[in-house]
């Protein structure tokens, strides 16, 4: 297959999710060029923390102070009876300097254009844009960027990039829906919570039984492995080892999924994709580096990875249909974040997010540096100043003798 690339050496923007202001700061420190987040209403993650109007302003100010970008997601399907509320909300946020708003509906685009005429508009993957004619249709309406459907092949993405008049963005990492680009009624049908209004109850990850119609109260187990049953679960998308090929399509932005994820998850994934983009830029993205980056991603809690539709070769790829072993994989636990430094014990003060014990194998990730792995030999409770064997969740401890580490460092424990 010979792909016609629009650009050969352009490094795309790294666009990362944030569920709150703290995660936004971690994402930007760990190498994101842009962060996308939802306000308290009209986005597809209404069950996450999300940002108040004051926090949206603070997020935009923070991102701009370090020359990064901040996008607001407004991609929920808006019903007739929500229109006036939606207009009032846009009126409330109209003075915040977002670098773009992310939408999926032409009517919503029109409202935003009327209230904030010079706002840049990005089209969400929820719009399922699958060809360059649709991209250019959105461009003619005034959109600046389209996040194309996750169901496209690499060749299709490259062709769309070549023939499009506006920017193209692609998802490279994170959870996938079993439905087409998030258009799903399963959650609404089974739990009354509408995924298209940001209320998904992740119904596809529930445990299901088999029932024969004439024996209504007899449930036969559907067993896959000892951790459970995942008949509707999808694998998680991960394109790290093929990122050079994605970059070569000419895409303008690569995007990571996960607005409900912790700072540990977002920082680790951002660190990995930033490192990969920098290696690609320097012509150093080789097999050894790919494998090291994949090992870092494996320190996050995730489902079995897939390279998704982009590299499936056929939409009937067995990897996409095969849902064996798609429960969560967890090899590391998030153990804490830095609160300060103790001169007395020459080590960082860590707020424990999970229990930590002497002899644990710790792994410290810092922005822009290689991870450090070591056995915890001595720790002091930061309050009592006593040497301790165990530190419980929400207590602070000092790692004796480690020296200074970055204030945004994150500590993990190998399980
Ligand atoms: S229920 Fe599953 S497939 Fe449906 S929107 Fe939620 S995560 Fe996606």
Which stretches does DSSP call E strand in 188-331? 209-210, 220-221, 236-238, 253-256, 305-306
Work out the average pLDDT over 24-35. Answer: 98
In eight-state DSSP terms, residue 248 is: H
Expressed in angstroms, the distance from the first to the final Cα of the chain is 43
In whole angstroms, give the CA distance from residue 209 to residue 223.
Answer: 9
Work out the average pLDDT over 24-45. Answer: 89
177 lines ligand 1 (CB under 6 A): yes
In whole angstroms, give the CA distance from residue 23 to residue 14.
Answer: 15
For atom 4 of ligand 1, the residue with the nearest CA is 184
- Distance between Cα 183 and ligand 1 center (Å): 8
With a cut of 80, say whether residue 57 has pLDDT above it: yes
- Residue owning tokens 């790692």: 399
- Distance between Cα 231 and ligand 1 center (Å): 13
176 lines ligand 1 (CB under 6 A): no
- Distance between Cα 413 and ligand 1 center (Å): 31
- Distance between Cα 329 and ligand 1 center (Å): 19
With a cut of 90, say whether residue 20 has pLDDT above it: yes
What are 204-220's pLDDT values in tens digits?
Answer: 878 788 888 888 888 88
- Distance between Cα 321 and ligand 1 center (Å): 16
Cα–Cα nearest to 249, from 162, 167, 321, 176: 162
- Residue owning tokens 């540096």: 369
Considering the chain, what is the average pLDDT of its residues?
A: 90
Q: How confident is residue 186, by pLDDT bands cut at 50, 70 and 90?
A: confident
186 lines ligand 1 (CB under 6 A): yes
For atom 6 of ligand 1, the residue with the nearest CA is 202
Q: How confident is residue 46, by pLDDT bands cut at 50, 70 and 90?
A: low
Give me the pLDDT at residue 50, please: 77
HSE toward the beta carbon, residue 287, CA cutoff 13 A: 0
Percent of the chain with pLDDT over 70: 91
In whole angstroms, give the CA distance from residue 72 to residue 74.
Answer: 6
In whole angstroms, give the CA distance from residue 308 to residue 325.
Answer: 16
Cα–Cα nearest to 75, from 99, 107, 97, 49: 107
With a cut of 90, say whether residue 7 has pLDDT above it: no
With a cut of 80, say whether residue 359 has pLDDT above it: yes
- Distance between Cα 225 and ligand 1 center (Å): 22
What are 284-317's pLDDT values in tens digits?
Answer: 999 999 999 999 999 999 988 999 889 876 555 5
Determine the residue of 178, 197, 207 to mutate for testing ligand 1's pocket, defined as the one with the most ligand atoms within 8 A of the Cβ atom: 178
Structure tokens of 145? 């960027």
Q: How confident is residue 1, by pLDDT bands cut at 50, 70 and 90?
A: very low
182 lines ligand 1 (CB under 6 A): yes
- Distance between Cα 203 and ligand 1 center (Å): 6
Structure tokens of 137? 């249709």
Query: For the whole model, what pTM was predicted?
Result: 0.90
The domains of the chain, with CATH numbers, are 13-180+234-321 (3.20.20.70), 333-414 (2.40.30.10)
187 lines ligand 1 (CB under 6 A): yes
Determine the residue of 202, 261, 326 to mutate for testing ligand 1's pocket, defined as the one with the most ligand atoms within 8 A of the Cβ atom: 202
Work out the average pLDDT over 335-352. Answer: 96
- Distance between Cα 277 and ligand 1 center (Å): 30
CB 339 within 8 A of CB 351: yes
Q: How confident is residue 225, by pLDDT bands cut at 50, 70 and 90?
A: low
- Distance between Cα 174 and ligand 1 center (Å): 13
Which atom of ligand 1 lies nearest, measured to the CA of 205?
A: 2
């Amino acid at each position: 297959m010979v792909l016609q690339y629009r650009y050969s050496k352009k490094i795309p923007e790294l666009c990362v999710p944030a569920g709150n202001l703290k995660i936004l700061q971690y994402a930007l420190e760990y190498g994101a060029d842009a962060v996308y987040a939802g306000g308290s209403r009209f986005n597809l993650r209404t069950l996450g923390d999300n940002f108040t109007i004051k926090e949206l302003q603070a997020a935009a100010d923070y991102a701009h102070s370090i020359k990064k970008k901040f996008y607001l997601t407004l991609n929920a399907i808006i019903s007739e009876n929500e229109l006036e509320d939606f207009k009032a909300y846009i009126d409330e946020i109209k003075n915040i300097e977002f670098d773009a708003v992310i939408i999926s509906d032409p009517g919503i685009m029109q409202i935003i254009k009327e209230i904030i005429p010079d706002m840049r508009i990005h089209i969400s993957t929820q719009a399922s844009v699958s060809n360059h004619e649709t991209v250019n249709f959105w461009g003619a309406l005034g959109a600046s960027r389209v996040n194309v459907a996750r169901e496209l092949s690499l060749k299709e993405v490259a062709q769309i990039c070549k023939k499009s008049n506006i920017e193209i963005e692609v998802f490279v990492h994170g959870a996938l829906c079993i439905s087409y680009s998030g258009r799903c009624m399963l959650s609404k049908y089974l739990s009354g919570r509408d995924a298209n209004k940001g209320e998904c109850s992740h119904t596809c990850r529930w445990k299901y039984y088999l029932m024969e119609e004439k024996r209504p109260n007899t449930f036969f187990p559907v067993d896959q492995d000892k951790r459970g049953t995942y008949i509707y679960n999808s694998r998680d998308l991960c394109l790290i080892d093929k990122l050079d090929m994605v970059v070569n399509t000419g895409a303008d932005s690569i995007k990571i999924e996960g607005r409900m994820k912790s700072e540990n998850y977002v920082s680790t994934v951002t660190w990995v994709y930033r490192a990969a983009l920098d290696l690609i830029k320097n012509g150093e993205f080789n097999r050894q580096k790919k494998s090291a980056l994949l090992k870092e991603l494996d320190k996050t809690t995730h489902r079995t990875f897939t390279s998704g539709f982009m590299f499936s070769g056929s939409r009937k790829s067995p990897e996409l249909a095969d849902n064996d072993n798609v429960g969560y994989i967890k090899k590391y636990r998030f153990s804490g974040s830095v609160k300060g430094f103790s001169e007395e014990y020459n080590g960082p003060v860590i707020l424990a997010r999970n229990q930590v014990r002497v002899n644990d194998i710790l792994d410290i990730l810092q922005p822009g540096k290689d991870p450090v792995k070591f056995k915890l030999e001595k720790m002091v409770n930061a309050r009592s100043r006593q040497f301790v064997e165990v530190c419980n969740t929400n207590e602070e401890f000092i790692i004796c003798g480690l020296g200074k580490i970055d204030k945004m460092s994150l500590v993990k424990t190998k399980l």
